[in-house]
Structure 1
């Protein structure tokens, strides 16, 4: 059965040992689920009855291309003006509850497993409904247009309606739920779900230009981040900078699944913030 972990919030008891697994390095960051307490939640202008954990944001030595929020919107809450950032595109992945997502005046009912891609420049709102909070991941990125390439269209679907794309030569133990065609150059980033069955592995050190955000939705594994092997489980978050080596062993007994962000399909910038030689 598909499961989606969502942080319950609260505070640890005073009797709990302080020692946790959080790590922040120049190559990667690891934020375990134990860090998702009430004292680190945030609120947003324009949102009502809402709290969130802001787990990635562009800053020196950390995320360069995206931000990621773990959202909790109480029934009746939401926003008619969710984001004032001009040029931002959005991905929403729902893990619990019910909500109505309206894009350009068209309403869409979203529940657990629901996925929405909202292109830059589209008008959207969200209203939490039902008897429990709507919980979802919200990823944001400034869209990078490309010459001769049209802007992408909205995507609204549930992951149960998307076939799993199996990696070749893996015996069916490693697959990806792809919500956008990887050959569609209109998209400058992908947000997918990666699934490993018990015993599945990334059997080599992936080292590539794509920045990653990985939020573990289900299961547990041992994940290699740069030179370190880290035990990870549902509710943990990993950020990997470009070229940070990564590998994985899925531990079982059930599937290991994570929500994956990566930037794709654009030239490396030669001028501007973050570009080589920009400060010269």
Structure 2
């Protein structure tokens, strides 16, 4: 499989602002962060992470993402953490797109390479280290887990994309398929992070309009995506945010496959009132 990997840097002074990064759009219904916006000067750092930088693509914010945060993380050789996340309610998905790292979960070691996927439930004790000679890059999607009385918290797992079969959507002859990393009927999970793929000519042939909030990062290829009322060209390395009920559709014209990593919130009642403040 192919994965777009950002490399940072900074555009030359002679380049036009309306070039790659000029496709950036932020609206009340959706946002597009093109790959050209991921320069060195917009990276962030995290406490307790050594030799690590990240691009924050989404975070809970009024008028923007409400349910999740999304990072693209670079860990230099020798870097990593023994204390990745101090939020006891945070659940996470990691997808490695470049390099190698060693993930430990509750003391068990899991070597990760490009295509490795890990689910980390709230309260999991985990660490991550890059013991190799090249930079390790991974996506890190976080959500505050919504506990439900009588429903167990799902367990941690690590799998490789190659071992997850793409399930074709009905009546598409495989032109549109989804790799689902958890069972859609398993209501223990309150988020799905899947890989959606289209062969050239594949399409979402109607404007999906539904309650899930979406984050999409294009791993491979290019397509035209319907976002609310706008058809927008996107390519590998671009990130999209869609608020709940934002109409969306897609046409993948080729010449190669079009694939993206998809987040959506699922399997819970919509909140009818704000959460109680912490005491």
- TM bin (shorter chain): over 0.9
Q: CA RMSD in A?
A: 0.9
1:86 Cα deviation from its structure 2 partner: 2.1
Q: Report what 1:3 is aligned to.
A: 2
Asked if 1:13 corresponds to 2:12, the answer is: yes
Asked if 1:205 corresponds to 2:207, the answer is: yes
Q: Report what 1:277 is aligned to.
A: none
1:273 Cα deviation from its structure 2 partner: 5.0
Aligned ranges 1:12-161 → 2 under 5 Å: 12-19=11-18, 20-161=22-163
Q: Report what 1:250 is aligned to.
A: 252
**Separation in 1, partners of 2:88, 2:159:** 25
1:173 to 172, 175, 184: 175
Normalization by structure 1: what TM-score?
0.96
Tell me the SS of whatever aligns to 1:150: coil
Tell me the SS of whatever aligns to 1:39: helix
**Separation in 2, partners of 1:241, 1:94:** 26
1:148 Cα deviation from its structure 2 partner: 1.4
Tell me the SS of whatever aligns to 2:41: helix
**Separation in 2, partners of 1:52, 1:251:** 31
Asked if 1:232 corresponds to 2:231, the answer is: no
Which sections of structure 2, spanning at least 5 residues, go unmatched?
none
**Separation in 2, partners of 1:101, 1:158:** 13
**Separation in 1, partners of 2:13, 2:49:** 32
**1:32-62 residue CA offsets vs partner (Å, 9 max, x unmatched):** 0000000000010000010100000001000
Tell me the SS of whatever aligns to 1:34: helix
1:85 Cα deviation from its structure 2 partner: 1.3
Q: Mean alpha-carbon deviation: is it higher for 193-202 or for 82-91?
A: 82-91
**1:15-48 residue CA offsets vs partner (Å, 9 max, x unmatched):** 1001110000010000000000000000100000
**1:149-174 residue CA offsets vs partner (Å, 9 max, x unmatched):** 11101120000011111101001100
Normalization by structure 2: what TM-score?
0.97
Q: Is the 8 A contact 1:97 1:129 kept in 2?
A: no
Q: Is the 8 A contact 1:180 1:190 kept in 2?
A: yes
1:65 Cα deviation from its structure 2 partner: 0.2
- Report the number of matched residues: 273
Which sections of structure 1, spanning at least 5 residues, go unmatched?
275-280
